[in-house]
Amino acid sequence: MTAQTLDTTAILDVLRPVQDPELQKSLVELNMIRNVVVEGGNVAFTLVLTTPACPLKEFIKEECENAVKTLSGVESVMVEVGAETPQQKDLPDRQGIGGVKNIIAVSSGKGGVGKSTVAVNIAVALAQSGAKVGMIDSDIYGPNTPTMLGLADSNVIVQDGANGQQVLDPAFNYGVKLVSMGFLIDKDQPVIWRGPMLNGIIRQFLYQVNWGALDYMIVDMPPGTGDAQLTLTQAVPMAGAVIVTTPQKVAIQDARRGLRMFQQLNVPVLGIVENMSYFIPPDLPDRQYDIFGSGGGKNTSEELGLPLLGGVPLEMPVREGGDRGIPIVINAPESASAQAFKAIAQQVAARVSVAALS
């Protein structure tokens, strides 16, 4: 091989065959390699990923380093990793939220399967990775995300907007901006919601909140497939939906109904999260019991024909964290459930990026 000058062109040339494993395209062609600087044998550049929660961050970085090291004369390689989350695709007849790049619905066929727990931990995990995250809790029957995010005593602040309309300032904790039905209704008072009123509030949550710039908006959907779900799904373009279920047969049947709703409304279903996949007893953390039947999520995902984003064990600290307002990904990041939530958040982010760019 003839001796090559070590310069920007040489670096880009040697990096050209390195692909983003999810998008299966060259990093160079995707404009993910930037700010290449060569000084003598020292090479530095920025690797701009499509999400700060990229599950393959370390792998891609290493591939880049290894490729550059094959060039003669290279003494050191410094890769700075950054991210630019792409904007989700538009959908006809739907109105996006200005500044919000990707709207992700977290839904379930019925209540009590852990939808809010999953939504909250995904949101906080994404924020921990460096993403800008917002959350809408549209569950009028059990708006408990304020409690789960340690915001039970907080509120949204109502401001007068430019056009005489009210604008809400979201509550904020653990890097997540939140608006919730829980801020608007009396906790001890049953509320009878009439369709138009409910629709009005949902639209306000979407379009009259100072969301600012967000990479991800997580929507904790009400359980089932009623009016609120339809309003939401038909109003905003959604990057995708995550369906939360448990291993029981009935839960899987309910999940199937939710799946059909999203499919009919052209919302891509990113996959399922099987919550309470198995039980880890607090005194024997190395044991696991398949109390709802076995399969570890695999059977469920096969039965529904959907990718499995991950399975979350049933662990007491998950519930305690929810009740105390300290999500498990914050409180016990090394626990099996926190690790599962983190991996699920990365899967969600990766799939959303692929959908936006393909």
Ligand X SMILES: Nc1ncnc2c1ncn2[C@@H]1O[C@H](COP(=O)(O)OP(=O)(O)O)[C@@H](O)[C@H]1O
CA 354, CA 264: separation in Å to the nearest integer? 21
By beta-carbon proximity to ligand X, the closer residue of 108 and 225 is: 108
Backbone phi, psi, residue 242, to 5°: -110, 130
**What amino acid occupies position 300?**
T
Cβ atoms of 116 and 148 within 8 Å: the answer is: yes
CA 115, CA 94: separation in Å to the nearest integer? 25
To ligand X, the closest distance from the beta carbon of 316 in angstroms equals 6
Identified binder of ligand X from the candidate list 102, 107, 116, 231, rule CB under 6 A: 116
Return the one option of Mg ion, ligand X, none that residue 112 interacts with (CB less than 5 to 8 A, by type).
ligand X
CA 318, CA 298: separation in Å to the nearest integer? 22
Cβ atoms of 137 and 146 within 8 Å: the answer is: yes
Identified binder of ligand X from the candidate list 85, 138, 144, 231, rule CB under 6 A: 144
Identified binder of ligand X from the candidate list 134, 322, 325, 327, rule CB under 6 A: 322
To Mg ion, the closest distance from the beta carbon of 133 in angstroms equals 18
Return the one option of Mg ion, ligand X, none that residue 240 interacts with (CB less than 5 to 8 A, by type).
none
Identified binder of ligand X from the candidate list 130, 142, 268, 333, rule CB under 6 A: 142
Return the one option of Mg ion, ligand X, none that residue 96 interacts with (CB less than 5 to 8 A, by type).
none
- The torsion defined by the Cα of 309, 314, 319 and 320, in degrees rounded to 10, comes to -120
Query: Binding of ligand X at residue 312 (CB under 6 A)?
Result: yes
181 token code pair: 């039905």
Query: Binding of ligand X at residue 319 (CB under 6 A)?
Result: yes
Helix (H) or strand (E) holding 309: strand 308-314
Return the one option of ligand X, Mg ion, none that residue 314 interacts with (CB less than 5 to 8 A, by type).
ligand X
Q: In what order do the strands lie in the sheet with 269-279?
A: 171-173, 176-180, 133-137, 214-220, 100-108, 240-245, 269-279, 308-314
Query: Binding of Mg ion at residue 142 (CB under 5 A)?
Result: yes
To Mg ion, the closest distance from the beta carbon of 324 in angstroms equals 17
In this chain, which stretch among 29-37, 91-99, 110-118, 229-237 interacts with ligand X, using CB under 6 A? Answer: 110-118
In this chain, which stretch among 19-27, 187-195, 258-266, 318-326 interacts with ligand X, using CB under 6 A? Answer: 318-326
Identified binder of Mg ion from the candidate list 51, 108, 116, 300, rule CB under 5 A: 116
Query: Binding of ligand X at residue 296 (CB under 6 A)?
Result: no
To ligand X, the closest distance from the beta carbon of 192 in angstroms equals 20
By beta-carbon proximity to ligand X, the closer residue of 115 and 177 is: 115
Helix (H) or strand (E) holding 169: strand 166-169
In this chain, which stretch among 46-54, 68-76, 142-150, 334-342 interacts with Mg ion, using CB under 5 A? Answer: 142-150
- The torsion defined by the Cα of 45, 51, 56 and 58, in degrees rounded to 10, comes to 40
3-class SS of residue 111: coil
Query: Binding of ligand X at residue 117 (CB under 6 A)?
Result: yes
To Mg ion, the closest distance from the beta carbon of 139 in angstroms equals 5
Which residues are within 8 A (CB) of 330 and not within 5 positions of it... i.e. 6 or more apart? 124, 128, 174, 321
Polymer length in residues for the chain: 358
3-class SS of residue 76: strand
Backbone phi, psi, residue 211, to 5°: -75, -30
In this chain, which stretch among 10-18, 39-47, 104-112, 201-209 interacts with ligand X, using CB under 6 A? Answer: 104-112
Query: Binding of Mg ion at residue 275 (CB under 5 A)?
Result: no
Q: Which residues of the chain form contacts with ligand X (CB under 6 A)?
A: 108, 111-117, 142, 144, 275-276, 312, 314-315, 318-319, 322, 337
Q: Which residues of the chain form contacts with Mg ion (CB under 5 A)?
A: 116, 139, 142
